[in-house]
Structure 1
Amino acid sequence: MRNKYIENFEKAQVVGKNIPDFRAGDTVRLAVTIKEGDKTRIQNYEGVCIAKRGQGTGQTITVRKIGANSIGIERIFPIYSDSINEITVIRRGRVRRAKLFYLRDLAGKAARIKELRRK
């Protein structure tokens, strides 16, 4: 049983956030606010969501992309963080697992995920 004060606080944090419905295997683009000195800018981070964990305001996603020289880069983002301005689902992936950590060992075309076909 959760404390009602904590639940009310979490509901206040979630208000105004427009989070799309997505899951592991989907390719997402996150608009992340980056602060450098006294300047702020928005940088897009696009990759495959390989894990989604937690609940409420503590929910996080792990996004993996392939950077320069074919090096895999993973970042963990709290979904309800103030540094995330927008989350966009680019394409839906067809996977049968909730956690796609096996993608870390695959390279090149073997690491591709089939697109989910709508009926």
Structure 2
Amino acid sequence: MNAIDWINQKYHKEATFPEFKSGDSVKVHVKIKEGDKERVQVYEGVVIAIHRSGAGSTFTVRKMSYGVGVERIFPFSNPAIQKIEVSSVGKVRRAKLYYLRDLSGKKARIPSQDRADLLLAQKDADQATPAESADQQ
């Protein structure tokens, strides 16, 4: 085992966050320390990239703040991240959405699918699966 594998194994954090992908709208709850006080700040935006590389895995979230695009890169292993909520699931065909940087207004929108619709679709698929397996026997 070389040094890089050892470090990745030692510092790789278990996936305690929900599964998300590029195009999803997320809310990242981050602990911020201001002087002696600590508070939780919610950073809400669209995931435009996920870089998976063991312990150094990161994801990039982009949001518009007062008409200015703001991007922030979060390491998955960052202990300051309390939780991640997936607001909506986007329908995109790319893994990296860097083209959103050049778009504004309605062109920058990502078609989304509600979480409720996804959960209902998964529930229907789960219910249909046992019946299909019984028919095959």
Calculate the TM-score normalised by the size of structure 2.
0.76
Point out where structure 2 has 5 or more consecutive residues left out of the alignment: 122-137
Correspondence for 1:66:
64
Q: Secondary structure at the match of 2:90?
A: coil
In structure 2, do the counterparts of structure 1 residues 35 and 26 end up closer, same or farther at CA, with 3 Å as the change threshold?
same
What are the Cα deviations for residues 80-109 of structure 1, in whole angstroms up to 9, with x where unaligned?
Answer: 201100011110000000000000000011
Q: Secondary structure at the match of 1:18?
A: coil
* CA RMSD between the two structures: 1.8
Residue 37 (structure 1) shift: 1.0
Q: Report the Cα distance in structure 1 between the residues aligned to 2:37 and 2:110, rounded to whole angstroms.
A: 37
What are the Cα deviations for residues 29-61 of structure 1, in whole angstroms up to 9, with x where unaligned?
Answer: 000011111111000000000000032221101
Q: How does 1:34-113 map to 2 (within 5 A)?
A: 34-68=32-66, 70-113=67-110
Q: Report the Cα distance in structure 2 between the residues aligned to 1:58 and 1:7, rounded to whole angstroms.
A: 8
Specify which structure has the higher proportion of helix. Answer: 2
Q: Report the Cα distance in structure 1 between the residues aligned to 2:9 and 2:94, rounded to whole angstroms.
A: 33
Calculate the TM-score normalised by the size of structure 1.
0.87
Correspondence for 1:6:
7
Point out where structure 1 has 5 or more consecutive residues left out of the alignment: none
Q: Secondary structure at the match of 2:6?
A: helix
In structure 2, do the counterparts of structure 1 residues 9 and 101 end up closer, same or farther at CA, with 3 Å as the change threshold?
same
Q: Report the Cα distance in structure 2 between the residues aligned to 1:5 and 1:95, rounded to whole angstroms.
A: 35
Asked if the contact 2:60/2:74 (under 8 Å) is kept, the reply is yes
Pair member with larger Rg: 2
Residue 6 (structure 1) shift: 2.7
Runs (4+) off by over 3 Å: 1-5, 116-119
